[in-house]
């Protein structure tokens, strides 16, 4: 018979991808980035918040973002990515876990994001309740290769650590 122990730490990983689309806003970590295109999707298509949300759900072994927030559910109709992330963090705290740190990577060919690093870190810190020092955001191009490299999509990856409170 397996014995359930409250693990002192749990790690989680998340990934997301959204198509680029002219006429949409480019919102990353809750920050609107000046750009001549944005990301397609329900809500604000904040690919970074979605990846971090999946990482938190993954750390808890609670499935994925689409399972918790189906776009058919009236409860979540019109909800923003910030609400998804904060709900995942509440699921963690309900189970006795708090977020320790987040590391993430956004893969986008253009525009350059490095000038927005402080704002995106702050956006993610605000969303998660972490200090900015516990939040890392890295940027990469895809070297012009594949859908991201051709400017057709943007991806984000995230790893989170949860600790038993």
Could you say whether residue 113 binds ligand C5P (CB under 6 A)? yes
- By beta-carbon proximity to ligand C5P, the closer residue of 93 and 141 is 141
Tell which one of 26, 49, 50, 97 touches Mg ion (CB under 5 A). Answer: 50
User: At 102, phi and psi to the nearest 5?
Assistant: -130, 135
Tell which one of 19, 87, 95, 140 touches ligand C5P (CB under 6 A). Answer: 140
Taking the complex as a whole, how short is the minimal distance between the CB of residue 41 and Mg ion, in angstroms?
Answer: 6
Which tokens hold the place of 90? 């509440």
User: Does the CA dihedral 76-159-41-36 come out positive or negative?
Assistant: positive
Could you say whether residue 158 binds Mg ion (CB under 5 A)? no
Could you say whether residue 37 binds ligand C5P (CB under 6 A)? no
Question: Is 138 within 8 Å of 105 (Cβ atoms)?
Answer: yes
Could you say whether residue 144 binds ligand C5P (CB under 6 A)? no
Q: How many helices (H) and strands (E) are present in the chain, helices listed first?
A: 5, 7
Question: Is 65 within 8 Å of 53 (Cβ atoms)?
Answer: yes
Could you say whether residue 148 binds ligand C5P (CB under 6 A)? no
As a whole number of angstroms, the distance between CA 106 and CA 160 comes to: 15
95 is in the binding site of which of Mg ion, ligand C5P, none (Cβ under 5 to 8 A by kind)? none
The binding site for ligand C5P (CB under 6 A) comprises 108, 110, 112-114, 139-141
């Amino acid at each position: 018979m397996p014995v359930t122990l409250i693990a002192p730490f749990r790690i989680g990983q998340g990934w997301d991808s959204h198509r680029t689309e002219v006429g949409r806003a480019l919102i990353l970590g809750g920050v609107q980035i000046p750009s001549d295109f944005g990301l397609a999707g329900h809500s604000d298509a904040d690919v970074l918040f979605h990846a971090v949300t999946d990482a938190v759900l993954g750390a808890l072994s609670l499935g994925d973002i689409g399972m918790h927030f189906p776009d058919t559910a009236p409860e979540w109709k019109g909800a923003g990515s910030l609400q998804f992330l904060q709900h995942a963090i509440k699921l963690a705290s309900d189970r006795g876990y708090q977020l320790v740190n987040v590391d993430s990577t956004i893969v986008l060919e253009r525009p350059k994001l490095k000038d927005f690093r402080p704002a995106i870190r702050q956006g993610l810190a605000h969303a998660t309740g972490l200090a900015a020092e516990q939040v890392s955001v890295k940027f990469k191009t895809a070297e012009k290769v594949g859908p991201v490299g051709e400017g057709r999509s943007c991806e984000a990856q995230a790893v989170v650590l949860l600790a038993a409170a």
